[in-house]
A and B are shown apart, each in its own frame.
Chain A
Amino acid sequence: MPFEVYLNVAASGLLTGLVYGLMALGLSVIFGVVRVVNFAHGEMMTLAMYLTLVLFGALKLDPLVLLVPVAAVLFVFGYLLQLGVINPFINRPEHSQFMLLVAIALILVNVQLIVFGPDAKGIRTAYSFDSFQLGKLIVDASKVYAAGAALVVAAALFAFFRYTLLGKAIRACADNYDGARVVGLNVKRLYALTFGLGAACVGAAGAMLMVVTDVTPAVGPAYTLLAFVIVITGGLGSMPGALLGGLLIGATEALGGVLFTPSAKSMFAFALLVLVLLFRPQGILGKKAS
């Protein structure tokens, strides 16, 4: 097989991986601070995708522009969800949190099914069928734009946590829950803010994904699983780890598909996960539990 096929496929996998990485970043942020595993992550992603679809129909704006209002709506959704529903479960056993979030996921899937039906729905932009040709390399234009937007959003999130007081306060909560309370931080509010930020990441990723693929209510659980594979590979709670995990999973699936058989490409992502769990259980960029 010509070398450029591998190159094309690897480029496509890396670009898609960046968007998946942004989605997983939301999961990692939520777990890193709130210590709650969001089992409704993929379903929140499809919610964002449908919201993008509705706004696109009403406003005729590019999904990459719509990612701002969609992220804002998802932020509010996440904030209220954490404040009103999840906070009472913070100190309860993990299985209670698990059941709560699975229930939320089921509700989201079924509401989407009722409202939007089971058929795949997509958005057609002016560049939906465009591609860039660089010599023998053909790159999907939609994936380039979506990956670029994912990098910008991820950079903004990194900057927020590193350079703003609010970001530092959230990191303080993550590092030392009791210490944060002792110095007077409103931990519950900060948790809600963090869940909101994680949801906003998912919202932005959902808007970007609408440029690349279609949405059906049924894909929500698949995205949840994908987000877990990515964050566990990259390191649960590590923000750069989530992006790296996305890139690795994207490239592994793509190259595994072309080298062996495409129908088994997910198998290679899980094989990578197993290797990471065996040889570096904390994930590639994760920290060992003390």
Chain B
Amino acid sequence: MNRRDFNKAAGAAAVTAAFPPLNVRAQAGSLKVGVLLPRSGVQAGIGQDCHRVVTYTAGILKDLGLPGLELMNADTESNVDVARSRTERLISEGAQLLVGAFDSGQTTAIAQVAEQRGIPLVINIAAAPPITEQGYKFVFRNFPTAPMILGDAFANQLEVFQATGVSPKSVVFMHVNDTFGQAMQKGFTGVMAKFPAIPYKVADVIAYDPAARDLSVEVAKARASGAEALVMVSRLNDAILITRELVKQRWTPSAILSMGPGWYEDQYLKTLTKLSDGPLHFVPWFDPNKKLAKQVEAVHNKAFPEVSFGTNHVFTFEALLVAADAFKRAGSANPKALADAIRTTNITDNVSTGPGIQFDAKGQNDKLKNSAIQNRGGKLVVVAPKGASNAKPELPMQPYDKR
């Protein structure tokens, strides 16, 4: 390169840098959305489940009259450091908005990068409260925090206990020892204190490794506590391992009250067949009566007939919905304009349970509500809250050896 070429190139670069809005406007035909999910590693199953939504969202957004999204996929490999580096890379490759990333630890790392670089992040799933307590201006979460999940879980439990007439007097709280599990554990006691009508005492708290290959020790310890029921915060593989151990160690708790993923997932139901029946889940879910919920579920069932529509799909879809809606209203892919548009989101025709999608000053949708669902005959039925249920709860659980 000679001096003249260098000057031309430098001049062009200077003009481009001096007029960023023009530059961005030129790309405003579609929004480049970086979708970060743990598609390999320990959480690969769930990450890939979330990713299913990415494959069919475009058609639904088009039906809703929303602009198209140019999706850029990245695998966090279930690892916080990889999540951080993939975020950096997506932004360098032109991502104008980020969506992700299922896990609270990875999402925390992504949020830090997004805030530093001024790129909006719409969190699909991550419950650790600190993520939206940092004063971030570019981070938005359409998923309940751990205390919100817990608060609704206790309210729904009371409804279930009242409906069945079964109230366990003591429980063991077992949780995965990761960011989500720890956040739930920390919140559990505090939130429970706000529900004096809860009938049980916590006999023991048992944390375990999310990548554990054998949970016999954990179940033996829980059984030895003499508790009547289990309160669980799990992932998928550990939920299967724990159920197997319960059967082998000949212990059927009167209730399994799950406040996280795992126990209601398809693989859990398919792997354990009739042994999967009984657990109750208090989880962010969808309102089956909402118009958009019916539409998205129908599209999902057509695309993936073997995979039940659930939490992972609902909130990954809604994150993309928020992105498209903000892009339409902002009329620009400028990250700051997008962030401002997301802040004023007001989507009432949505999928999840609750009045809709709005964000508070911290970037949190604090209007979301949980549902109680139960495994019955290899399917999931909604048993609470009463207004959004399609079955009555059944407790105590049928003994494993009599199925």
Contact = CB atoms under 8 A, between A and B. Distances in A.
Nearest to A261: B207
Contact of B41 (A131, A212, A218): A218
B224 A5 contact: yes
A118 B44 contact: yes
Contact of A118 (B39, B213, B214, B250): B39
A107 B216 CA distance: 32
Given A117-B48, A119-B45, A122-B271, 11 more contacts: A9-B216, A113-B40, A120-B237, A120-B240, A130-B248, A212-B214, A218-B40, A257-B221, A261-B206, A263-B207, A263-B209
Contact of B220 (A9, A124, A214): A9
Contacts of A254: 216-217
Interface string A256-283: 0110011101100000000000000000
A218 B39 CA distance: 12
Contacts of A125: none
B249 interface: yes
A191 B216 CA distance: 39
Contact of A262 (B39, B48, B218): B218
B244 A5 contact: no
A48 to B, nearest CB: 15
B247 interface: yes
A8 B248 CA distance: 12
Choose among B48, B208, B400 the residue with the greatest number of A CB atoms under 10 Å from its CB: B208
Contacts of A2: 224
B222 to A, nearest CB: 10
Contacts of A142: 248
B211 interface: yes
Contacts of B240: 120, 122, 214
Interface in B65-82: 78
Contacts of B216: 9, 12, 140, 254
Contact of A218 (B42, B207, B224): B42
A89 B215 CA distance: 40
A257 to B, nearest CB: 4
A87 interface: no
A30 to B, nearest CB: 23
Interface in B269-307: 271, 275
Contact of B208 (A16, A219, A222, A262): A262
Interface string B199-241: 0000000111101011111101101100000000000110011
Given A1-B224, A214-B237, A129 B213 contact: no
B365 interface: no
Contact size range, A: 35 or more
A175 B224 CA distance: 51
A236 to B, nearest CB: 23
Interface of B: 39-42, 44-45, 47-48, 78, 177, 206-209, 211, 213-218, 220-221, 223-224, 236-237, 240-241, 244, 247-250, 267, 271, 275, 400
Contact of A222 (B211, B244, B267): B211
Contact of A138 (B42, B213, B250): B250
Contacts of A128: 244
A253 B208 CA distance: 13
Closest 9 CB pairs of A and B: A118-B44, A257-B217, A263-B177, A263-B207, A5-B224, A129-B247, A119-B45, A262-B218, A131-B248
Contacts of B217: 9, 12-13, 253-254, 257-258, 262, 265
Question: Max chain B CB contacts within 10 Å: which of A9, A141, A253?
Answer: A9
A140 B217 CA distance: 12
Interface string A1-33: 110010011001100100000000000000000
Interface in A130-180: 130-131, 133, 138, 140-142
Contacts of A140: 216, 248
Main SS class of interface, B: helix
Contacts of A117: 44, 48
A216 interface: yes
A16 B214 contact: yes
Given A131-B248, A219-B213, A118 B221 contact: no
A5 B221 contact: yes
A119 B235 CA distance: 12
Contacts of B42: 218
29 contacts: A1-B221, A1-B224, A2-B224, A5-B223, A8-B220, A8-B249, A9-B217, A9-B220, A16-B214, A118-B39, A118-B40, A118-B41, A118-B48, A119-B267, A120-B240, A122-B271, A130-B248, A212-B214, A218-B42, A222-B213, A254-B217, A258-B217, A261-B206, A261-B207, A262-B215, A262-B217, A262-B221, A263-B208, A266-B209
Contacts of A138: 248-250
A249 to B, nearest CB: 12
A13 B217 CA distance: 9
**Residue in A129, A213, A222, A265 whose Cβ sees the most chain B Cβ within 10 Å:** A129
B386 to A, nearest CB: 35
A16 B241 CA distance: 15
B244 A129 contact: yes
Given A118-B39, A119-B44, A261-B207, A129 B221 contact: no
B78 to A, nearest CB: 8
Given A12-B216, A214-B240, A218-B42, A131 B221 contact: no
A216 B40 contact: no
A219 B237 CA distance: 12
A5 to B, nearest CB: 4
Contacts of A133: 250
A2 B41 CA distance: 38
B213 A213 contact: yes
A251 to B, nearest CB: 11
Contacts of B213: 213, 219, 222
A262 B207 contact: yes
Contacts of A261: 206-207
A228 B32 CA distance: 45
Contacts of A222: 211, 213
B223 to A, nearest CB: 8
B218 A257 contact: yes
B252 to A, nearest CB: 12
Given A16-B214, A214-B240, A258-B221, A120 B250 contact: no
